[in-house]
Amino acid sequence: MDRRTLLKTGSLAALGLGFGGCATRSGVAVAPSTQFVHLPPVKASWDRVIRTTVGLRPHRPSGFVLKAEKFGAKTVIHNYGHGGSGHSLAWGTGSMAADLAIEHGERRVAVLGCGTVGLTAARQLQRRGFDVTIYTEKTPPYTTSNMAWAGFTPTSSLVTAAGRTPAWEAQFRQAAEISYRQLQLLVGPRYGVSWIDEYGMMDSAVPPQRRSTAQRRSADRPIPEPDGLLPSHLETGRNILGPGEHPFPSPYASLGVRMRIEPSIYLDALMRDVILFGGKIVIRKFESPRDLMTLQESLIINCTALGSRELFGDQELTPVKGQLTFLVPQPEVNYIVRGLLRSADGSIHRVGTMPRSDGIALGFMALSGVWSLEPNEDAIKRTVEAHIAFYEIMRGRWPGIQTRRVEASRDIPKLESFFGLES
């Protein structure tokens, strides 16, 4: 792709973005306040590219697995298959897995896997008095969880509409409630969890949640996010900004807030917590369920994600390849922006920027059924060039890059949403 092609006058138009929760609940925008916010543009250039990471999301069309199963004298509690929602749901499914473990009366437990699902399950078990040992082939920073965009996005690559059942949806909502509460308690520099403004480019003022599934489906996101899955009180409000109210090359934009998780900080902190509370981490690879029989623990929590396909024969598991390219950190940039851009030749390019302390993440892709962990060089080129073009246009439109801040409206959560839930 030629950046000059993208920058030709009139050659770049913004399309609506199909991601969850990007409109107001009521569909009515709140009047802008008189407060102004400075939005410094990202310094996107090839000489600021520092790395590209690849991860495989463990997608299951019928959603994550949370159940107990007997293997001879061993009891295995499965907790895997979270798609792109591992960081979002792990505290909740970990809590529910720990509750299942209590029913079996054992106090020593083995956890398989040291990503976000395994670490949070270990912490939830420790909170209930279990003696925990994590068995894993890899530890942070070399887990799939470290490669994630990471934020509270609990419907990302999670489940298809055909795979949903009432029983599973009840599990999902309980997991989302617990995780949302727990992540809020971890906000701060120690865990790398924070709230951040998020902008979404839109071609019209029609909220994305009111568009058809075909309209919301993007070229590189083959698994549309399921409608009506996340309870509204677990989403922050969003407002629609019109022409002149935002600096982006699109007629409209949405503005809300997103909970951001920085994996390099978050996972390291969780691993330290596990050890601080008496847990142990053992480096070990398991080839088959027979290997589990050699463990001293009779109670096992399986958090092996895609590894469960080979280890436990779950052929429903499908990899969804993700790739992020990082720029040099820019501390003054503290907002997310996402959208789709169309060049003069009609090709569509994704813009997605997530600022973190370890770099500014650009991406992302979602390629279903791809097992390769090798970076896609063409995707890197398209991603970097699209972001260079985007931020050059942004600078040219509004040299000062100032936009009105619209206070997002939101519903008041029901009290039972936050109280009476064990986490």
Distances (CA, A) of 250 to 10, 12, 27: 12, 9, 19
Answer for the pair 157, 321: CB distance below 8 angstroms, yes or no: no
- pLDDT at residue number 225: 62
Highest mean pLDDT among 68-77, 274-283, 381-390: 274-283
- pLDDT at residue number 2: 52
| Alpha-carbon span 250 to 22, nearest angstrom | 15
Answer for the pair 78, 65: CB distance below 8 angstroms, yes or no: yes
| Alpha-carbon span 306 to 255, nearest angstrom | 35
pLDDT in tens, 6-54: 544 334 444 444 333 333 333 334 444 434 467 899 999 999 999 999 9
pTM of the predicted model, to two decimals? 0.85
Angle, helix 263-276 to helix 116-127, in steps of 10 degrees? 30
Mean pLDDT of all residues belonging to the chain:
84
Q: Under CATH, domain 60-187+263-318 is a member of which superfamily?
A: NAD(P)-binding Rossmann-like Domain (3.40.50.720)
Question: Tokens 């390099």, residue?
Answer: 264
Answer for the pair 225, 19: CB distance below 8 angstroms, yes or no: yes
**311 or 223, greater pLDDT:** 311
Q: Which two tokens stand for residue 168?
A: 């599973």
Query: For residues 187, 305, 322 and 250, what is the CA-based torsion angle, rounded to 10 degrees?
Result: -50
Domain map (residue ranges) of the chain: 3-57+202-260+320-404, 60-187+263-318
